[in-house]
């Protein structure tokens, strides 16, 4: 997943905005006559970041493209040269057709005795900078550009992209054929969706933000970055005068034959995040009467659980046979918050009657599909879902009037009012069975403790990933990471965050 550096996050609300390319262009238009220009500010900010890298002596390579991203690179080149660095600019394009600000940056570089190379060597650099295309690119990279990108990716030095790794769609994170693989990316003005989801994190590396002294007010369609600050006000210590009834009753429904463990994992996760009581109802006739790893879970018949719970989670290990469908039908009438995952989503996606019941619910509904489940819900394909994950999550939230977490690299959370956010915690070790069941239990537990639905889902997603990251940082995984380990880590982290916020 993407890693964000604190020193460039600048804490103000602007640092949490995620803007589409169209929104960025709208903001840029307000500053078209600003002095210094946004391009000059971008080049200066990039030079400051390069200073933070504490590079050894040696030449720096800048690949400059035919547009404003290339202009950012040329300003950076001039700044670095003024600071005593040896800089080589390899330019790809027609200097006579540059946009005005980029042309001015080119002139400044050349007037300062800079030169333009049409090729670059394959070793000897202390830093290589990708200033080829940035945001706005929608076509695959081919020909000489593709060749340069492949050679850039093979360089054995730190590699910095300006705004976004060239070849990555800034709005979707989709790699447009070949794409730069940067070790670092400096995003200008605000974050872009493509930095944080789908292919973006694999290509953009460590993320940095330079706001360029630009003010970004509430912008139609803007998203947010999910961080602990989003829900920190809810991380309050429990009163000493507490009892289990204050923290809600979670009901887990699922666990068909051969999948009892999925329901147990969800139940264990709900306990770990603090639910007062957790009831688990398994459809399997031979389900054990006790979870030996969590004897606190109260086992009941699956059809009993809805009447015992204040929050209901349906789907982990549910199956798609007729008894599962009949039970889900009953659960959709539950008079309280409902979390739907796994086979509950698969059944709804193939049964119009169940969909109708879901749409009639007057209570909060949370849905946590992976891309294949999302495809069934929207009668689409997994490829189409992944092609625009933000649009997909928003479409699901709108269609089902639900709070939706579209799981995957850069989980996208969308809400019925159109708000959306992207989570950056988590790592590839989470690509294993049981992780989604744990997330379901986390979300249900926070709902049972009276967290508002939007914050419960965003916090569950963020904490889920943060727990996995903490484990990997301590040498547990990513290969072989297990959901039960993440559950235990999430409990520790939630308690630590609460202590820090007190």
Annotated binding residues for K(+), written as ranges, equal: 69, 130, 166
b/e per residue 336-375 (b: at least 16 CB within 10 A): bbbbbbbbbbbbbbebeebbebbeebeebbbbbbbbebbb
464/440 Cα distance (integer angstroms)? 10
E-assigned strands of 401-472? Answer: 403-406, 412-414, 420-423
CA 106 to CA 112: how far, in whole Å?
10
Q: What is the DSSP letter of 9?
A: T
- Three-state DSSP at 427 gives coil
Question: 63: which strand partners?
Answer: 90, 130
Residue written as tokens 């990513």? 478
Copy the structure tokens of residue 105: 């940056």
β-strand partners of 365: 338
User: Which sign does the torsion angle of CA 343, 432, 306, 451 carry?
Assistant: negative
Residue numbers in the known binding site are 68-72, 130, 134-140, 163, 166, 262, 317, 370, 407-411, 436-437
- CA separation for the pair 40, 500 (Å, rounded): 40
Cβ-proximal residues to 312 (8 Å cutoff; 6+ apart), any chain:
250, 251, 253, 305, 306, 331, 334, 336, 337, 338, 339, 444
Residues 6+ apart with CB under 8 A from 201: 1, 2, 173, 195, 409, 410, 424
Closest of 418, 394, 414 to residue 403, by C-alpha = 414
> CB of 73 within 8 A of CB of 62?
yes
Q: What residue has token string 């046979």?
A: 321
Write the DSSP string, 456-485.
Answer: HHHHHHHHHHHHHHHHHHTT--STT--HHH
In the annotated binding site for (6S)-NADPHX, the residues are 68-72, 134-140, 163, 262, 317, 370, 437
Strand ranges across the sheet with 60-64: 3-4, 206-210, 184-188, 158-162, 127-131, 60-64, 87-91, 116-117
Q: How far is C-alpha 183 from the geometric centre of its chain's CA atoms? A: 18
Residue ranges at the known binding site for AMP: 407-411, 436
Q: Is 24 exposed, middle or buried (0-12, 13-18, 19+ CB in 10 A)?
A: buried
The residues pairing with 30 across neighbouring beta strands, listed in sequence order, are none
């Amino acid at each position: 997943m993407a890693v964000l550096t604190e020193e460039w996050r600048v804490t103000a609300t602007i640092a949490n905005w995620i803007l589409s390319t169209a929104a960025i262009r709208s903001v840029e238009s307000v500053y078209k006559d600003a002095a210094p220009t946004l391009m000059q500010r971008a080049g200066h900010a990039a030079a400051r970041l390069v200073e933070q890298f504490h590079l050894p002596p040696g030449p720096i390579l800048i690949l400059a493209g035919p547009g404003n991203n290339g202009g950012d690179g040329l300003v950076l080149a001039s700044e670095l040269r003024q600071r005593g660095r040896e800089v080589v600019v390899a330019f790809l394009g027609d200097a006579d057709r540059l946009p005005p600000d980029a042309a001015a940056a080119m002139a400044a570089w050349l007037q300062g005795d800079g030169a333009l190379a049409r090729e670059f060597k394959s070793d000897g650099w202390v830093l290589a900078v990708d200033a080829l295309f940035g945001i706005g690119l929608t076509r695959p990279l081919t020909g000489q550009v593709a060749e340069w990108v492949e050679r850039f990716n093979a360089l054995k030095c730190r590699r910095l992209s300006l705004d976004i790794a060239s070849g990555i769609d800034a709005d979707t994170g989709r790699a447009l054929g070949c794409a730069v693989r940067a070790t670092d990316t400096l995003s200008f003005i605000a974050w872009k969706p493509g930095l944080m989801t789908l292919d973006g994190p694999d290509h953009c590396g460590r993320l940095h933000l330079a706001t360029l002294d630009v003010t970004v007010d509430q912008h139609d369609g803007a998203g947010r970055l999910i961080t602990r600050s989003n829900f920190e006000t809810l991380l309050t210590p429990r009163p000493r005068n507490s009892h289990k009834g204050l923290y809600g009753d979670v009901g887990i429904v699922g666990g068909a034959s051969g999948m009892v463990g999925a329901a147990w994992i969800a139940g264990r996760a709900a306990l770990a995040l603090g639910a007062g009581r957790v009831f688990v109802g398994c459809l399997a006739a031979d389900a054990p009467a006790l979870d030996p790893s969590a004897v606190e879970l109260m086992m009941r018949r699956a059809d009993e659980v809805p009447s015992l719970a204040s929050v209901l989670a349906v789907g982990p290990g549910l199956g798609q046979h007729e008894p599962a469908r009949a039970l889900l039908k009953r659960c959709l009438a539950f008079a309280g918050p409902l979390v739907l995952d796994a086979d509950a989503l698969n059944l709804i996606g193939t049964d119009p009657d169940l969909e109708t019941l879901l749409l009639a619910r007057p209570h909060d509904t949370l849905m946590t599909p992976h891309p294949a489940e999302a495809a069934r819900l929207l009668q689409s394909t997994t490829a189409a879902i992944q092609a625009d994950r933000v649009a997909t999550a928003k479409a699901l939230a709108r269609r089902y009037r639900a709070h939706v977490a579209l799981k995957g690299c850069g989980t996208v959370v969308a809400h019925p009012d159109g708000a959306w956010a992207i989570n950056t915690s988590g790592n590839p070790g989470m690509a294993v069975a049981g992780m989604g069941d744990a997330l379901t239990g986390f979300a249900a537990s926070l709902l049972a403790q009276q967290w508002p639905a939007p914050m419960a889902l965003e916090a569950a997603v963020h904490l889920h990933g943060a727990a996995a990251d903490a484990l990997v940082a301590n040498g547990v995984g990513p290969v072989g990471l297990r959901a039960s380990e993440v559950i235990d880590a999430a409990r520790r982290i939630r308690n630590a965050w609460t202590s820090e916020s007190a």
